[in-house]
Amino acid sequence: MKNDFSSSVYHDGYFYGFDIAALVCVSAKTGEKKWTKRGFGKGSLILVDDKLIVLSDKGTLIQVKATPDAYTEQGQMQAIEGKSWTAPSYSNGKIYLRNLTEMACFSAN
């Protein structure tokens, strides 16, 4: 994987991360790419329980099921305006985002 602004995350034997501008799932054991999804730009992500919290470089927040079976989006919203290159943060049930001029907080429930 060729990450730009965010490290990959590991969950149940698979790595999830960005390969240039595509979100990918790769087997840690074999290196086999299980799925690829484009459309995030140079996004970032974190793992919360069994969910990927993905922030596109245009500020769209996407929740994706962390499974190798298929890319399964569980919801999305335009969370912050402008370029967003900082990975989301998670604490006490809340997701925190920022760009160069503003910060936002959303309930993770």
CA proximity to 43, closest of 10, 95, 84, 71? 84
Residue 2 lies in a domain: no
What whole-number distance in Å separates Cα of residue 92 and Cα of residue 37? 29
First-residue to last-residue Cα distance in the chain: 30
Residue 18 lies in a domain: yes
Residue 1 lies in a domain: no
Residue 3 lies in a domain: no
CA proximity to 9, closest of 97, 73, 1? 1
Domain that holds residue 43: 9-107
State yes or no: pLDDT of 30 exceeds 90: yes
User: What was the pLDDT predicted at 83?
Assistant: 84
What whole-number distance in Å separates Cα of residue 60 and Cα of residue 77? 6
pLDDT digits (tens, 9 = 90+) for 98-109: 988 899 999 887
Residue pointed to by tokens 């240039």: 20
User: What was the pLDDT predicted at 88?
Assistant: 93
User: What was the pLDDT predicted at 59?
Assistant: 92
State yes or no: pLDDT of 20 exceeds 80: yes
Q: What is the CATH number of the domain that holds 16?
A: 2.40.128.630
State yes or no: pLDDT of 86 exceeds 90: no
User: What was the pLDDT predicted at 60?
Assistant: 94
Residue scoring higher pLDDT (86 or 17): 17
How much is the mean pLDDT over the chain? 92
Cross-strand bridge partners of residue 103: 98
Describe the strand order of the beta sheet including 60-65 as a list of residue ranges: 44-48, 51-55, 60-65, 73-78
66 Cβ contact list (under 8 Å, min separation 6): 9, 11, 12, 14, 16, 47, 50, 51, 52
* Structure token pair of residue 86: 């900082």
Count how many domains the chain has: 1
Residue 59 lies in a domain: yes
